[in-house]
Every structure is written in C-alpha cells, then in structure tokens.
Structure 1
Amino acid sequence: MSGMTDSRTTLPARPRSILHVVRQFLPNRGGLEDVVANLAREQARLGHRVRVVTLDRLFSNPDVRLPARERLEGIDIERIPFSGSHRYPLAPSVFRHLGDADLVHVHAVDFFFDALAFARPFHRRPMVATTHGGFFHTNAQSRLKALWFAGPTRLSVRAYAAIVACSESDARMFAPITPGGVTVIPNGVDLDKFAGAASAEPRRALLTIGRFSHNKRLDRLLAAMRALGPGWRLRIVGVPSDVTVEALTAEIDRLGLTETVTLHVGLDVPAIRALIGQSSLFVSASEYEGFGLALIEALSAGLVPVAHPNEAFAWLKRRHPLISLCDFADPATVAGAIRDAYDSLAESRLDPGGANLPAAEDLSAYRWSGVAARYVAVYEAVLTGKDRGAGSSTPR
C-alpha cells in the first residue's frame, strides 16, 4: 500500500460545487490550513466552484473576530461563530452554509466531522473526509480519545462516502472502523514556495517550522541546542497553539539560549523564505505528525532534515534517504546527528563535481496538480456511485 502513484483523471462533465469545512483557515498558517488552501486553489483552477467554511476566530488570537465573509488568496471564505474549547469547538450554524454544495469535504476529526455525520439524513449532502491525523497528536487523555474513537467516531465515519487518509499510519488507524476501506492520498506540497531557498553556503544554522504545541516537543529541541554548544543557531518559526510564546521565551531564557535561539511568530511566506536562506538544516522533535508537510517543504528548499522517528517521518525516510532520524529524547545523540548532517553537507559543497544532495530528492509525487486530480477522482466516484479508484485502499 503506497498511495504515492500520481493518478490522473479526466475533468468531470460539469464543474462541481465543492464545500471545504475546516476549523482553522486563512489568515492562520499551519499544515492543515496550507493543505486546504492549496487543494481549494487547485480545484478552482480546474473549474470547480469552491468555498471554505471555518470558524470566525483563530485559536491563537481568540479575542479578534474575523469578517464573516472574505476572499483571501483567491478563495471564498465563510466564517461562523463557535463556543466551547478549541479542542472541540461547537459551531452548529455550519448547517446554514451548505448552500448549493454538490459535495462537502470535511477536514480533520472534530465537531464538524461528527455533527455533519449525524445530521446526514437531514442535509443529505454527499460527504468526503480527510483524517489529518485524527485527534491523536498527543498522548494527553489517551484513554478518553480511544473510547471516543471506538464509539462516536466509529459511528460518524459511516455517514461519509469516502474516508481519505493523508498517510499510511492514518489509514491503519481508521481502516478497522471504516466500512469499505480507507483511500490513501498523501498531502500535496507547494514545491515552488520555498524551492532552492536554503543557504548556498553551509551554515551551522537550524530551522524548525510548525505550531507551538506540545506534540512538537520544542523542549527537546532546545535541549539539543544546549548540547550542541556555541557556534550554532536555531530559528523557531510558527504560531502559538497549546504552547505560548511566553512559555517558550521563558524556557529559552532558563536554558541560557537567548543568544542562539530566536522565535519568529506569524511570518508570511517571503519572510520565512528569507530565514530559510540563512539556514542549512531543518530539525523537528515532533512526536506525532499526520503527514510531515513541513519536512517535505524543507527538502524542497534544500535544507537537510534531522528529525525524530515518529511514524510519519519514518515513512518519509524510507522514500527520502537524505532525512536523518534520531531519538530527540537524548540531547547528546541529537547533537551528534546534527553535527554529522552538517559535516556531510559541507563535504558535498566542497567537491566542485559533487551533486547537491538536497536537490537529488525526487518530490514530484507531492505536486498539487496530481494530488488534486486524485481528490477529484474520489469526488466523482462518490457523486456517480462508482467504485473508488483514485488512491490505494486499505481493506477493513
């Protein structure tokens, strides 16, 4: 089961009205938001009418209410109010925004996933869902999560005409509760956004990109920086989640890393690209990833990745040998792996006839044109009642 083949499909006989439902979206930046935005843009380019329904406040800035309707980066966005925790935000007005949608595409497993499923007999819209790691990004409340997954989630999946996993680990998780199997479509990646942006000269400069959340284990990354000692820099790029900027800053100060570690919050693409241009290595201590989008973006930029061997990163390592994996629970081991990765990069750059190792990785399977085509094939199979064939399938 690879799910990596770039399947092609002919355009549908007529454009479809597609509604994406996702809890957080633009102007917020993160892996989930980027995936939905890129998929929506590509589907619009193919001639479909695409809308996104999302919440009207960002979890990172809950006191600011965003416009109810807005068009950003060519995408029509409708925002709705919510109450309750950001872990399971309640937003029942989503039903008023289904409009003329031919198909509803729900992203992640949360209130939207459950509510739209249980109301399926009333709204009767065909639905597809993408798992995006489910809700197992951390071990917190693991027993409650397991019970919820075996109960409400098992019931909810039955309302969806197709469940799409963005990784094989997700597929293995959802296959036992999904009648008919799970379709695997790895996330697309904007390979042009940071293409070739890494420093032309090797630098002892590390970069990590992602939400400031507990599963990213930024504490372990800071411990590795302390073990590396002087002469190294780390830039942490992202947005606050369940770890605040204040908490991160305090930990950096406590470890005496204020001269070598900097935080960069809420940057746009050009600003991130500029930081990549000052870096040579990408690092991630993340214990859980639904797919590993930031790591693929790092490869496209020419950064050399050193990452924790979570299931998603281990899957990517089997396809991209340039990735180095080591257990970030051991700062000394991580420091050694980072030094080795830097030394290998420096040696390759010293050889005038040597290949640029980062550029040697073939990332073409992640291009959005192919990924969007596979999603359209899933949609068409759902809407026409045909068997799915757009991606690999994990049997029940």
Structure 2
Amino acid sequence: MHIVHIVRQFDPAMGGLENFVKSLAQEQLKSGHSVTVITLNRVFHQQGSQLPYEAEIEGILVKRIGYVGSPRYPIALSIVGEIPSCDVVHVHAIDFFVDYLAVNWWRVSAPMVVSTHGGFFHSKFASMAKRLYFNTVTRLSLRAFQYVLACSNNDLLRFSKINQKRLLLIENGVDVSKFANAASPQYQPHFIFIGRFSDNKRLPQLIDTLSEVNKIGSVKVRLSIIGKDWDNNKLLLTEKISTLNAQGWVSIYCELADDEIRALVSSASYICSASEYEGFGLTILEGMAAGLIPVVSDIASFNRIIHNAKVGLITPFNDPAQDAKRIVQFCNHVSEQYQSLRSKAISASQEYSWSRVSKSFEQVYQQVNAQKKVIQGITVNDYSKQALLTQLNERLENRRSTILAFANAHSINTAQQSNEYLAVLNRSLTVNDGSGMRLASKLKYGIGFKDNLNGTDFVPYLLANLTPGTKLFLLGGEPGIPKECLNVWQAQYPQLNWVGEHHGYFNERQSQHICQTIKACKADIVIVALGNPLQELWLDNNLEKCGAILGIGVGALFDFTVGKATRAPHWMRALGVEWVYRLIKEPQRMWKRYLIGNFTFVLRSLRDAKR
C-alpha cells in the first residue's frame, strides 16, 4: 500500500505532531508499505533557509512545498499537484490542507482521512473566532474525508459535535523505545517537563507549585524544563526563576537531542505537566515508558491516561499551595512504592506502542480501499494502475479467462437501457474510466477511485509491462486501421508477439471464422475496438471460442494510436474534461452522448447515492 501523509511541519522541525507522523511512517515502512510525507519547506519560528524540495529521512521520502501566510494557517496551493498516485492520503491536523483538499476533492483520486491532533484549540488566542470557524468551515471541510480519526478522547468529544458519522477514535501512538526504562532505578524527587514552552503549557504555574512544595520542607524537589522556546516564553521563565530565587532547583534546556534528554531522565522519577490543553499527552506517555511517574493537570486527555494506567497524580494547578500539599503527600507515597509504581508506568505505556497503533490505522486504510464499488447496479473494481496490472498478469499466468471492460458515463447509461449489457459488465472485470465515474463514486461513497483507468492510457501501460512473448490479436476499426495499429505497436513493443489483426466490419458467419483464426494463432490476448456495448458483448459471446485468456474492449484506441483521431491536450485530460474536446471535434456525433448523456448520468448518480 502506498500511503501519503500531509503535515505542515516535519523533521527537522521538532514537536509532538512531527514525531507522531515520523513514528507512524517508520512503523508503516517496517510493515512493508511505501510512504511519502508532504510538508512545508520552512521550519516555523526559525530564520533558517528554505529546505530542499526532496529528501529521504530514515527511509521516508519527504517532499517539501512552498507556502505563504502565517504559521497558524500556512497557504500552500501546490499541494494537490504534489500528491502522487497512492492508496490513501492521510492529513494530519485541522488546518489549510484540510480546507483546501476538501474544496479540491474532485482532483484527489485517493481516499482521504484526517487525524485531529487537538484541532486548533491549543491556546485561547481568537477563541470565539475559532469556535465559529470550527462549527462552519471545519464542519463542511470534514465531509470530504472518508474518516475523521480522533487522536484522543478529548478530540472525540469535541469533533462528535460536528461529525459523528465517520468519526473514529485512534489514540496517538508513542515511541515507547525512545526513553525505555531510562528513569532512575532509585527514587529521586526530580521532576521532568518535556514539550514546547507555549502559553497553554502553564509553565509559570508549574514552577510556582513546585516552589510551594519546597517551602513545605518535607520534600525537596528539582525541576528540569526540556523543550523548545515557543511564544517567546523562555525569557519570562528565566525571570520567574530569578524572582523565586529558584536557580538551584529549576533548570531550562532547549533543543536537546534524545540521548541528552535520556541522560536527564536517568536522574528523575517524575514526568509532569500543568498544561491547560493537550490533544493527547504524548510526552507524558513517553516519560511513563521510561518509568517516570506522571503528575499532571486535570484535563480530559491526562485524565484518560491516568485512569487507564492506574498510576500517577492529577491536580488542577490553579492553587499552588493546595496543589503543593497534594504533591507532597503523593511523593511520600511514591517514595515508599517506587519500584512497583515505576514498573506499572512502563507496563501501562506499552498499550500505546506504535506497533499496536499502526495496525489500527492500517485497518482504516483497508476499509477505505475496498476494491469493489457498485455504481448504478454495476460492480466496478477500484484498482490502482499498478494493482490492475498485477491482477491481469496473474490471470494470464493462471490462464483465468477474463474480459476487461472500461466503464465510463456513457457505458453506464447504456447498461441502464440493456439488461444484457449490464449483466455482461457485472460478469467482466470492470474498471472505472473518466471523471464521471469519479463523481459518481464520490457522491455515493465519499471517495473517488484510486486511478482513472481509461483504456487509452492503461492499455499502452499494460503492453509495456506484459511478459515478453505474450501473443496478441487486434480486432476492430475500419479496414486498414488495425493493421496500421499493429505495425505501430510492434515497433513500440517488439518483445511481444503480434499474431494477427482484423477490421471491425463483419457479420455473424464471418465472426465465427475470425474466432477460428484467433484460436489458430494461439493468441493470449484479444484487443477489440468495436465501441461499447458491441465490444463487450462480442467478447462475452466469443472469447472462449477464440481460445484467448484475456479480452479487452478499447473503443477508439486504434484510431488514437494511428493518428486518425486526436486526444485532448494534457491539461484538459488532467482536469477530467476530455469529453469537452471530443464534443468540440465531433459535435454532430457526440452532442447527445455528452450533453444529454452526462446530465442523465449525474441525475442517476445522485439517486444512486441516496439508496
């Protein structure tokens, strides 16, 4: 499976969100998946230069794109064009990417899921505007995503107010190996805080509270504040420490490497946070994996961790004197049972290991990648181009008789008027062709198809990747056209065995003779260009008589190959409006098919989506 993660910041940026995506991507690589991360090309709040467009970080392919605007809502309009062919797009956090991809859902062929990561409520900044935006724009944007994946119980409660139907809880994974078993083996009244120095972390309250603990006197604690300056708070914290004359027991460390953090953890027994908001509580669990005992504020995400672990202290951090009394009492308890509580913290953290959490995400990816969809009564297989190629090669190798049909809006319309044709499409290996099918799938299933598998593009790709020596026969088109097409393809794909051709003007008696000719040639594949529904009906009646394994209906492909007909410019094909070009080129022949037919198809698709 090819998974694309989209996140506004990634390595070398540091933080909970960045570490989450990196850890998930690494676990997915271990499971044999292909992973691409698309992110922005500058690290927020740093004056460094633009990062390279492409890099490989610990096996992860990273693409970086430019942006304008504030780090709070960076605008990167090139994102859609950077998404490669893939099986799923996983967006992380509620930001510009969610809104822009929602507006451009029709341009993204892969199913999309989004992880919440706390939404955008990490601080009180513009809180009223945020609530309004959340209840209007975010509510609408999330409709474009197959699943909304809440990263915490707190997020589950918040997002259930605007999106209940496709909301799932998958709590964050934790790199339990980062500081595994690193806490002091003997009890030490040393508290560790790890995280950004942002306003919502309430670090001044944490310092005030532990200062009161030391005033009580029965317990003398130390505090190490480890992380990255944010909201310009390092200076304020330094002033706070100086005012309290706390330099002897409070230390601040910025931008430490993991091994340096591990060294500090080795002299500590507690992980702490006075935060007023956390989407999950990642660093608390990383600390618990080290064997540190949690002392945390009374917020939903921390409550869930402590409740499940059955180890740690929850205190409000709103009254330093009262909070200090609770902490002193708790420290006395921990000092008496430190070894058992340390082991209990480590054990509880294992429930959040990435190996377990990654499997939960994989189950969601598999659900959104169901390989069959029913469009207006016709079963359409949802393959990527590579997956369809693999499927066909396997069928050829196993000599499993198969008709490959490309279903577009016109063929679906035709099938609504012909039970015979509808039955043939359902017996065939039918795949999607064109923007109309993508729209129908989006309306009914919330996601489009993985790739646009039109025959004009896919068949040359198939020919280039068939086993050398495969035998092919061409049937259809005006006299002379299949011969000319065979000559073109023979020059392009000389590794294949081109055994014969015949034009598409024949009666029933002549049809039987053609079948005998194909059988005598021992063709493996018959490529038929009679237009639909004739080509699929002919294959359904005659493929077995021909002795071939695979029959493919290709419409006007022979004409395109020899230059008798021209395709739309690439930009029109990219936008999914190639039909407009064909309508302009052949208005008398195509107006009914495209103007009336497309309108009818959309109406039927809307009805089909409501069933």
Identify the residue that residue 102 of structure 2 maps to in structure 1.
117
> Of 364, 372, 390, which aligns to 1:378?
364
Secondary structure of the residue aligned to 1:153 is: helix
What is residue 368 of structure 1 aligned with on the other side?
A: 354
Are the counterparts in 2 of residues 300 and 359 from structure 1 also a CA contact under 8 Å?
no
Q: Deviations over 1:115-169 (max 9, x none)?
A: 1111111233310000011011122211101110111101100000111001122
Amino acid at match of 1:66: L
Are 2:294 and 1:305 equivalent residues in the alignment?
yes
Distance in 2, Cα, partners of 1:362 & 1:146: 34
Equivalent residue number for residue 326 of structure 1: 315
* 2:73 paired with 1:84: no
C-alpha displacement of 1:179: 5.4
Q: 2:192 aligns with which of 192, 207, 210?
A: 207
Among candidates 243, 262, 287, match of residue 254 of structure 1: 243
1:282 counterpart residue number: 271
CA distance in structure 1 between the partners assigned to 2:320 and 2:295 by the alignment: 13
Whole-angstrom CA distance in 2 between matches of 1:179 and 1:344: 42
1:238 and 2:223 matched = no
* Higher fraction of helix: 2
2:257 pairs with one of 251, 268, 281: 268
Q: Give 1:54 shift.
A: 1.1
Correspondences of 1:130-169 after superposition (within 5 Å)? 130-169=115-154
Residue 20 (str. 1) matches residue 17 (str. 2): no
Tell me, yes or no, if the aligned pair for 1:207 and 1:283 is still in contact at 8 Å.
Answer: yes
Q: Map 1:19-58 onto structure 2 (within 5 A).
A: 19-58=4-43
Do the aligned partners of 1:194 and 1:273 also contact (CA within 8 Å) in 2? yes
Q: Which amino acid aligns with 1:382?
A: V
Q: 1:218 aligns with which of 176, 183, 203?
A: 203
Q: Which blocks of at least 5 consecutive residues in structure 1 are unaligned?
A: 1-15, 350-354, 389-396
Equivalenced residue count is 368
SS in 1 for 2:369: helix
SS at match of 2:267: coil
The secondary structure found in structure 1 opposite 2:32 is coil
Provide the rounded CA distance (Å) in 1 between the counterparts of 2:196 and 2:222: 19
* Structure 2 partner of 1:9: none
Residue type of the partner of 1:333?
Answer: Q
Contact 1:106-1:127 at 8 Å conserved across structures: yes
Q: Residue 261 of structure 1: CA displacement?
A: 1.3
Q: Cα deviation per residue 1:79-101 (whole Å; 9 max; x = unaligned)? A: 12222111111111222310222
The match for 1:358 is 342
Q: Distance in 2 between matches of 1:337 and 1:121?
A: 56
Residue 190 of structure 1 aligns to a residue whose secondary structure is: coil
The residue that corresponds to 1:317 in the other structure is 306
Give the counterpart letter for 1:298 in structure 2: G
CA contact (8 A) 2:152 2:280 kept: yes
In 2: Cα distance, 1:265 partner to 1:308 partner: 23
Residues 109 and 134, structure 1, Cα contact 8 Å, conserved in 2: yes
> For residues 24 and 256 of structure 1, what CA distance do their matches in structure 2 show?
37
Please state how far the C-alpha of 1:73 moved relative to its aligned partner. 2.4
- Provide the C-alpha distance between the structure 2 equivalents of 1:163 and 1:385, rounded to a whole number of angstroms: 21
Once the two structures are overlaid, the 10-residue window that deviates more, 45-54 or 242-251, is 242-251
SS in structure 2 of the partner of residue 210 of structure 1: strand
CA deviations 1:183-235 (Å, max 9, x no partner) are 11111111121111111121221100111111111111111132123742111
Q: Distance in 2 between matches of 1:123 and 1:386?
A: 19
Alignment of 1:186-201 (within 5 A): 186-201=171-186
Q: Give, as a single letter, the amino acid of the residue that structure 2 aligns with 1:50.
A: V
- Which runs of 5 or more residues in structure 2 are unaligned? 374-444, 446-611
8 Å contact 2:146–2:166 — kept in the other structure? Answer: no
Following the alignment from structure 2 to structure 1, what is the Cα–Cα distance between the partners of residues 35 and 87? Answer: 10
1:247 and 1:53 map into 2 onto residues whose CA distance is 35
Do the aligned partners of 1:281 and 1:342 also contact (CA within 8 Å) in 2? Answer: no
Normalised by the length of structure 1, the TM-score is 0.88
Displacement of 1:385: 6.8
* Bigger radius of gyration among the two: 2
CA distance in 2, matches of 1:340, 1:83: 51
Per the alignment, in what secondary structure is the counterpart of residue 160 of structure 2? helix
In structure 2, C-alpha distance between the alignment counterparts of 1:282 and 1:114, rounded to whole Å: 36
Secondary structure of the residue that 1:155 maps to in structure 2? helix
1:299 deviates by 1.3
Contact 1:60 1:240 in 2 (8 A): no
Asked whether the equivalents of residues 208 and 237 of structure 1 are also in contact (C-alpha less than 8 Å), the reply is yes
* Maintained 8 Å contact 1:207/1:279: yes
TM-score, normalised relative to structure 2? 0.58
| Distance change (3 Å), C-alpha of 1:221 and 1:101 | same
